[in-house]
Amino acid sequence: MQRKGITNLPLHTDHTPPWLWKRMVKLSGALTEVILEEYGHDEFLNRISNPYWFQGFSCIIGFDWHSSGTTTTTCGALRASLNPEEHGIAVLGGKGKNSLKTPAQISQLSDTFNISEKSTEMLIKSSKLSAKIDNSCIQDNYTLYQHNFFLTENGKWAVIQQGMNLSNKYARRYHWMSTDLDNFLNDPHTAIECDQKNDETLNMASKDSKEVQKISVDLINDNPEHLRTYFRRKDSKQTLLSDFFDFNSEESDPTGFLKQKSFTMPAHHEVLDMDLSDSEFKVLKNAYELQPSDYKELISLKGIGPKKIRALALISDLVYGQEASWEDPVKYSFAHGGKDGFPYPVDREVYDYSIETIKDSLKQAKLSDKEKYDAIKRLNKYIN
């Protein structure tokens, strides 16, 4: 099964105060401990991959209800509170350059969790492919800058990553949970949070883009050199010679027709809403030499980014009449307040009481004495 969702969040630059961060680490660890004790690793991944639950979890531990920093801080708190050897789960990657460390971290942790080499390769591929899809196949004007990879001792995983739109200063969060690579490009969204929606977003991960995915592979495997001949205007209409007539000139008569058949062609015209340079066509030629077997393999090739993916999708529409999905895959939780004082300041006394309540609930749980002791012993590491 695969779960994926998107959350849009405004950019906030304030830092979490130390007194609140310390409590966030304690409470996030305590809550996760309860979930792992009661429901296990799979259920925790199932919840963390749900953007609604993640947002509620972030608000419970006292972060801003709608801030872009929610992702960084919540994942950071979980990274600090979870011990792979003790809990059987870890948060890899992170923000900026730390995200690039994910493949190496997966390999290292696979040794700790005794995950096979083949499974490790699939995990690394899942990490890279989820980033490529959200950054290139879903063209919503958000550029990824954060990638958090949750990995459990049984080889299950979830991804929480975030992109930034520098124009509107909003962040968008993407959630994944998957054990099947076949569903990566089959409309994988289950829940989407947002209060901003783009009018047009190319979504090559949609089930409605399935035929365009196939055509894109065929266009590459048939030799992309002929793609240079295809031209299209931004408004998707046929370009006419009369489009270049100057009807405001003195040579125009009152009816709008030219007295002289003269017009001026532009010095530059667009190719498929963009220009593809010689170096970019070289990337397509290299892909042709490799003959990708499917769309996943195509988009995984070096240099196949948003521009090439978009060009192939537009050619598919222009030549074969097969249009990709242009629907933005996006849709739109407080217990202790938020660090910015909205909707009210964090109440430290109530916050500490919540931590103690969770500890007490574990004490009263119907567990054997040894199980109870082990649970409290682990939880004490967060509380004390």
Which of 27-31, 62-66, 114-118, 140-144 is predicted least confidently? 62-66
| Same domain assignment for residues 308 and 341 | no
Residue 198 shares a structural domain with residue 212: no
Q: Are residues 140 and 269 in the same domain?
A: no
Domain annotation covers residue 159 = yes
Pairing between strand 157-165 and 89-95?
unpaired
CA distance 160 to 241: 50
Quote the CA–CA distance of 339 and 15 in Å, as a whole number. Answer: 9
Residue 230 confidence class, pLDDT cut points 50, 70, 90: low
What pLDDT does 146 receive?
Answer: 93
In a domain, 300, yes or no: yes
Answer yes or no: do 110 and 11 share one domain: yes
Alpha carbon separation from 200 to 173, 193, 245, 306, 330 (Å, rounded): 18, 17, 30, 15, 12
Q: What are the beta bridge partners of residue 202?
A: 139
Q: Read off φ and ψ for residue 327, nearest 5 degrees.
A: -95, 125
CA distances from 86 to 47, 125, 153, 374, 375 (A): 20, 26, 10, 11, 11
Last residue of a domain, one of 294, 320, 346: 320
pLDDT number for residue 169 = 77
The whole-number pLDDT of residue 23 equals: 87
Q: Tens digit of pLDDT for each residue in 29-44?
A: 989 998 998 899 999 9
- In this structure, of 93-97, 293-297, 319-323, the range with the lowest mean pLDDT score is 319-323
Domain boundary among 299, 320, 341: 320
Let me know: does 158 contact 48? Beta carbons within 8 Å. yes
Q: Of the ranges 119-123, 233-237, 341-345, which is most confident?
A: 119-123
Q: Are 73 and 28 spatial neighbours (Cβ–Cβ below 8 Å)?
A: no
Is 340 a residue whose pLDDT tops 50? Answer: yes
Question: Does residue 284 share a domain with residue 244?
Answer: yes
Confirm if 205 and 216 have CB atoms less than 8 A apart. Answer: no
- The pLDDT-based confidence of 377 (bands split at 50, 70, 90) is low
353 vs 206 pLDDT, higher one: 206
What does the alpha-carbon distance between residue 135 and residue 165 come to, in Å, rounded to a whole number? 12
Phi, psi of 185 (to 5 degrees): -115, 30
pLDDT at 123: 96
Residues 6+ away with beta carbon under 8 Å from 225: 281, 285
- The predicted pLDDT at position 374 comes to 67
Q: How many domains, the chain?
A: 2
How do residues 116-143 score in pLDDT, each as one tens digit?
999 999 999 999 999 999 999 999 888 9
Domain housing 364: 2-203+330-383
pLDDT at 91: 97
Residue 325 falls inside a structural domain: no
| 341 and 248 share one domain | no
Q: Based on the fold, state whether residues 282 and 142 are members of the same structural domain.
A: no
90 strand-pairing partners:
151
The answer to whether residue 257 is domain-embedded is yes
86, 174: one domain: yes
Supply φ then ψ for residue 217, to 5 degrees: -65, -40
Confidence class for position 105, pLDDT limits 50, 70, 90: very high
Rounded mean pLDDT of the chain?
Answer: 78
Residue 232 has pLDDT above 50, yes or no: no
Q: Over pLDDT 70: what percentage of the chain? A: 68
Say whether pLDDT at 269 is over 50.
Answer: no
Question: The tokens of 198 are what?
Answer: 């783009």
Contacts of 50 (CB under 8 A, 6+ apart): 3, 5, 175, 190, 191
Task: Let me know the angle formed at the C-alpha of 175 by 207 and 125, rounded to the nearest 5 degrees.
Answer: 75
Per-residue pLDDT at 332 exceeds 50: no
Amino acid symbol at 10: P
pTM of the model: 0.72
**One domain for residues 312 and 351:** no
Does residue 360 sit within a domain? yes
Whether 188 and 118 share a structural domain:
yes
Higher-scoring residue by pLDDT: 366, 178: 178
Examine the domain organization and report whether 70 and 164 are in the same domain: yes
354 in the same domain as 267? no
Confidence of residue 177 (pLDDT cuts 50, 70, 90): confident
User: For residue 354, what are its two tokens?
Assistant: 């919540």
- End residue of a domain, out of 302, 320, 338: 320
What's the confidence (pLDDT) of residue 150? 97
Which stretch, 9-18, 201-210, 341-350, has highest mean pLDDT?
A: 201-210
SS (H, E, C) the chain: CEEEEEEEEECCCCCCCHHHHHHHHHHHHHHHHHHHHHCCHHHHHHHHCCHHHHHHHHHHCCCCCCCCHHHHHHHHHHHHHCCHHHHCEEEEEEEHHHHHHHHHHHHHHHHHHCCCHHHHHHHHHHHHHHHHHHHHHEECCCEEEEEEEEEECCCCEEEEEEEEECCCCEEEEEEEEECCHHHCCCCCCCEEECCCCCCCCEECCCHHHHHHHHHHHHHHHCCHHHHHHCCCCCCCCCCCHHHHCCCCCCCECCCCCECCCCCCCCCCCCECCECCCHHHHHHHHHHHHHCCCCHHHHHHCCCCCHHHHHHHHHHHHHHHCCCCECCCCCCCCCCCCCCCCCCCCCCHHHHHHHHHHHHHHHHCCCCCHHHHHHHHHHHHHHHC
Assigned domain for 158 exists: yes
Q: Is pLDDT larger for residue 282 or for residue 212?
A: 212
User: Cα–Cα distance between 268 and 200 in angstroms, integer?
Assistant: 25
